[in-house]
């Protein structure tokens, strides 16, 4: 479905606020002891996000009927604002990550959810940049752009948007084609 700019860019505003609130609640309740646990769980959440991102892209976006049609629309019009409303995705992360854990391990729940949220924000930024920014060779996003463009033009490869690590692990990283200069 087409979404407006407000829903497209919304998470770039909401996610930092949510992370700040989660951090303040968690660390404020156990200062300074909770900061190390919060930081470690944030890193764990951010790292785990990269695997979740890969799995969602590879299996849900390419095999779940509703999401597949949205993803195909994105492939047809890569610069259009097509997808689920951004607040749905960040809300889902809160419901799936934070709510089940907060009663058992509130500091871990806060850090882990914050890491997942920041990982999701990084994914959105990298994905947006690959389609909307003029990224030149030598820029830190250039490899991500090449990898993602490979996904758009070749079947069954390069499902990792923010990182290519899981494509290497699961054997779905496309080999780059070398360009041959005209003589």
Report which of residues 53 and 153 the model is more confident about: 53
* pLDDT score of 26: 83
Residue 5, sorted as left (phi over 0), alpha (psi -120 to 50) or beta, turns out to be alpha
| Contact (CB, 8 A) for 12 and 124 | yes
Model pLDDT, residue 29: 66
Segment 124-157, tens digit of pLDDT = 999 899 999 999 999 989 999 999 888 888 889 9
pLDDT at 183: 42
83 sits in the region (left: phi over 0; alpha: psi -120 to 50; else beta) called left
> What are the structural domain ranges in the chain?
5-133
């Amino acid at each position: 479905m087409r979404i407006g700019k407000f829903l497209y860019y919304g998470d770039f505003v909401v996610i930092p606020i949510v992370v700040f609130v989660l951090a303040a609640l968690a660390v404020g309740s156990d200062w300074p002891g909770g900061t190390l646990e919060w930081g470690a769980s944030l890193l764990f959440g951010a790292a785990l996000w990269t695997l979740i991102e890969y799995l969602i892209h590879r299996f849900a976006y390419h095999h779940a009927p509703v999401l597949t049609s949205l993803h195909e629309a994105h492939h047809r019009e890569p610069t259009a604002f097509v997808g689920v409303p951004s607040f749905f995705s960040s809300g889902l992360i809160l419901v799936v990550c934070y709510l089940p854990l907060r009663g058992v391990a509130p500091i871990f729940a806060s850090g882990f959810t914050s890491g997942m949220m920041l990982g999701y924000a990084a994914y959105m930024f990298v994905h947006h940049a690959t389609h909307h920014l003029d990224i030149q060779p030598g820029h830190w996003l250039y490899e991500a752009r090449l990898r993602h463009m490979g996904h758009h033009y070749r079947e069954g490869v390069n499902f990792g948007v923010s990182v290519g690590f899981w494509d290497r692990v699961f054997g779905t990283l496309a080999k780059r084609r070398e360009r041959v200069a005209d003589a």
